[in-house]
Amino acid sequence: MDNKNFKNKEIEEAAARIAASSRLVVSTGAGISKESGISTFRDADGLWNNYRPEQLASREGFLANPGMVWKWYRERLLTAKEHDPNPGHYALARLEEILPWMLLVTQNVDNLHRRAGSRQIVELHGNIERYRCLEHSHPAELDPEWGDDPPICHCGSMIRPDVVWFGEQLPQAELETAFNESARCDVFMIVGTSGLVQPAASLPQIASSAGAYVIEVNVEESAVTHWSDLFIEGRSGEVLPLIAAETERILDLNLSK
């Protein structure tokens, strides 16, 4: 989509709200990573193809076939590292730099937001570049040379990816931060998500109910669009840089007055 096809008034409205905000929360889903070339789980070429989700993303699946699961996550990690953050990732990092306060809440585990420069991040589903002990959940470091089987922790347990599997609770501290800050922000922006995965899907509702202005950026309407005050249809890699640039222009203009 060419930039000229975006309605200027929508970009200007989003930027004006963000520039005036004291606390911005941004929630991102698989859509922003898809624009970097990383497959989502349920697309036609999705990550679940040829497998049942419980085979690859559950404690039971890991214990049943640790080698298969380990190699699948290794391939996911290598794929993530082969792809670069896109302009949408960098635009969010820029917003964090120029705004008084911003929190990024993501469902993605690919680490692209951190690589783009975002720092204040809540990773609801973990991070594929981190590891922890299967039995005791303490952080674990890996030898750079991966084998075909999970390495053994110093405590004797297998090491697993530090991501949330089916049947597991989301990290409590991160979840509480996401809920609390969504209820405190004055602007909430949701980007590239279907709005179907809980509890992340409830965050715009929490923000809206607390009085925040809700902006959605997506290629199509989603399950959370009805909670949005402003819906901007388009790719995040095209829309977010426009919002960030206009936000910066407004802030610079305010400083010059």
Quote the radius of gyration of the chain (alpha carbons, Å). Answer: 19
Distance between CA atoms of residues 230 and 184, nearest Å:
19
Residue 9 neighbours by CB distance under 10 Å: 9
Distance between CA atoms of residues 37 and 92, nearest Å:
18
The residue behind tokens 């953050």 is: 85
Which residues does 228 contact at the CB level (< 8 Å), separation at least 6?
190, 204, 214, 215, 216
User: Three-state DSSP class for 146?
Assistant: coil
User: Three-state DSSP class for 176?
Assistant: helix
DSSP category for residue 118: -
Question: So which residues are the catalytic ones?
Answer: 125
Distance between CA atoms of residues 59 and 133, nearest Å:
12
Residue type present at position 3 = N
Which residues does 196 contact at the CB level (< 8 Å), separation at least 6?
222, 223
Q: Provide DSSP, 60-73.
A: HHHHH-HHHHHHHH
What are the beta bridge partners of residue 103? 25
- ∠ CA 202-203-204, rounded to 5°: 100
